Amino acid sequence: MNARNRFLGSGLVLLAAAVCLVCTSAYADLAIPILSNPGFEEPFLGSPYFSWNPGTAGGWTYTSSLALLGSSGCLGGNATASSGYQFFAINNQGNDEICSASATLQNLTPGVTYTLSFGAKGWDIGSGWTADPFHVSLDGTDLSFSGNTTITPAITAEYNTYSTTFTATAPTATLTIADYGLQPGLALSFVDDLKLSLANPGANLVTNGSFETPAYETVTHALNETGAGWTFTSVESSLGVGLVGSGIDRGDPYGINSNSVPFSGDQQAFLQGQDPEGGTCSISQVVSGFVVGQQYQLSFQAEGMTYSVYASGSRLYEGNPFTVTIDGNPVTFGGVDKTLVDPSAAYEFYVSDPFTATSETMELLFADLANQPYYHVAVIDDVAITVIPEPASIILLIGAALAGGLLWLRRR
């Protein structure tokens, strides 16, 4: 089996993956993303299917008997996912039930501003159905999308993107997507593909953090490349790590449904298991520009690569858990023991706890666990290391604000 085929697996792999579903999520030291399961890919529904009133599932709590978790093709018309295979359908059929989905944002940094976006569209099934208007709130306060707090998505084939920013006031916040109940008739909107990122990340010390260079315009992926800032290593040169080009996402050249759409641009990096060769694979970069003693944060987007075969209702999903170190020291995400990144089947946003630079150049290393099966693939995109303002400068800012306030008082 050549490297290309091995990368995408085979029917045997799918069988093995089904067996291996029991071996995921067994880790106690999992890194905490800002939002788990942002693409409604969990729990996996299998072949085109929908689940009414899924209750609490996959990190989300759904209310109303009309809340619907669905997969592409489960309903007629434009019932497709924006990312991966599954979506949330917010739905009202002339009764007064409020239909909603809510989840907890975690590991937020108070004072930091984040960008939140998602896709939505109305159902185009006709027969009197309209889009179901809804609102998105954080701890009960509606977020504004281009000046609107009520979203009535257009009825289109593709999803329409809605984006906003918010500033965290606490490490956690409850995100709620809810309709208003009491619609006069039949109404349904699809919601999918929530994305989070830093709104004002500042200068990035990482070179080629989006893995767009070199551009692989004619191949689906490249292995063990060196250059453009990154070094990719694996035990066997023919597989393990590298850059994924756009072809794998757009052309689906192997006839396998993949969730592998880069978070940004056309390319992303991947870490693939090394079984049966053994050992680990890694992606590293010697990052320069640190100021010794200054505090920094690492952020990135990561997902577990999945393939779905609806005919058999099975999905190859293995997130290939990995660790991140800076000069050999584990980077943590949400607490001292939260070191192991095991992303779900849609891109999750990870922001590390602060770490202190001990040298002007430090090595950033992503490495998977030893002896993972080769159908375990994690993909990574938008890697950034950014400075955290020193407490002294924050105190200065507060001091300046206070002084301004005093001046204002004196002028009165």
Contacts to Ca ion by CB under 5 A: 39-40, 81, 83-84, 86, 192, 210-211, 262, 264-265, 381
What does the block give as tokens for 211? 């893995």
CB of 102 to Ca ion, least distance (A): 17
Q: Judged by CB, which is closer to Ca ion: 248, or 357? A: 248
Question: Which strands make up the sheet holding 113-122, listed edge to edge?
Answer: 50-52, 68-71, 86-93, 186-198, 113-122, 160-167
Q: Judged by CB, which is closer to Ca ion: 40, or 230? A: 40
* Alpha carbon separation from 209 to 31, 265, 284 (Å, rounded): 20, 11, 11
Residue 374 CA to its chain's centroid (Å): 22
CB of 189 to Ca ion, least distance (A): 14
CB of 144 to Ca ion, least distance (A): 24
Mind giving me the DSSP string for 62-128? EESTT-EEEETTSSSTT---SSSSEEEEEEEESS-PPPEEEEEE-S--TT-EEEEEEEEEE----TT
Cβ(29)–Cβ(7) below 8 Å: no
Q: Judged by CB, which is closer to Ca ion: 168, or 191? A: 191
Q: Judged by CB, which is closer to Ca ion: 45, or 281? A: 45
Q: Which residue is nearest to Ca ion (CB)?
A: 39
3-state secondary structure of 352: coil
CB of 269 to Ca ion, least distance (A): 8
DSSP 148: B
Q: Judged by CB, which is closer to Ca ion: 85, or 375? A: 85
* Alpha carbon separation from 353 to 27, 270, 328, 336, 388 (Å, rounded): 19, 23, 16, 9, 10
CB of 197 to Ca ion, least distance (A): 12
Q: Judged by CB, which is closer to Ca ion: 201, or 262? A: 262
d(CA 176, CA 102): 4
What does the block give as tokens for 242? 């590298």
CB of 357 to Ca ion, least distance (A): 26
* Alpha carbon separation from 374 to 27, 106, 320, 380, 387 (Å, rounded): 19, 31, 9, 17, 36
Q: Judged by CB, which is closer to Ca ion: 353, or 381? A: 381
CB of 335 to Ca ion, least distance (A): 28
